[in-house]
Each structure stands twice: as structure tokens, then as C-alpha cells.
């Protein structure tokens, strides 16, 4: 996994994320800033819903993140 700096998710780039032809790709575990909160990217559902794990303060519990990754695999989310 190549390190990428934290990405701020806005309405504009969220729309880009759900567009399959868009070059913006987030890897599972990517740190994102969502409305001022530090979160980790899990993936997109087939319906275009973002799956993220929100943290408590400046961190995200590993157990919560891994549970979401397992759930996303059961829901067959894309890892875009």
C-alpha cells in the first residue's frame, strides 16, 4: 500500500468518487478528513454509499476499522 496524505472529502470530490470513470481512487485504510473529523476509508457500496470508519478524536480504533472491512466484503463493496 502506497502512503497517501490525508484527503479532505468535499461534496465535489465525493461526486467524483462515485463516478466509475473518475481517476480519483482511494485505497482501503486511506485516512480522510470528513467535515473536520478524521476517518478511514473502507469503500463504496454498489449503490454509491461511502463506507468510512469515524474516529474518536484523532484516531480510529483498529477493531472498528477491521470490522467494517469485513462487512464491506460481505456487502461486495468496491474498494475504489
- The H helix count followed by the E strand count for the chain is 2, 4
Residue at 2 is within a domain: no
- Provide the domain count of the chain: 1
Residue at 80 is within a domain: no
Cα separation of 22 and 36, whole Å? 24
Residue at 1 is within a domain: no
Residue at 79 is within a domain: no
Global pTM reads 0.70
Cα separation of 26 and 32, whole Å? 9
Residue at 60 is within a domain: yes
Between vectors from CA 39 to CA 15 and to CA 13, what angle results, nearest 5°? 15
DSSP-assigned states of every residue in 9-27: E-HHHHHHHT-TT------
Q: 3-class DSSP state for residue 77?
A: coil
Domain limits for position 11: 7-74
The pLDDT tens digits along the chain (80 residues) read 677 888 888 888 777 777 777 777 788 888 888 888 888 888 888 777 888 888 765 567 888 888 888 888 877 655 55
Amino acid at each position: 500500500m502506497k502512503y497517501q496524505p490525508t484527503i479532505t472529502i468535499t461534496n465535489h470530490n465525493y461526486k467524483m468518487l462515485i463516478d466509475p470513470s473518475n481517476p480519483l481512487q482511494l485505497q482501503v485504510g486511506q485516512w480522510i478528513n470528513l467535515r473536520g473529523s478524521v476517518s478511514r476509508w473502507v469503500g463504496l457500496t454498489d449503490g454509491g454509499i461511502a463506507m468510512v470508519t469515524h474516529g474518536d478524536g484523532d484516531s480510529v480504533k483498529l477493531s472498528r476499522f477491521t470490522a467494517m472491512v469485513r462487512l464491506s466484503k460481505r456487502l461486495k463493496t468496491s474498494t475504489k
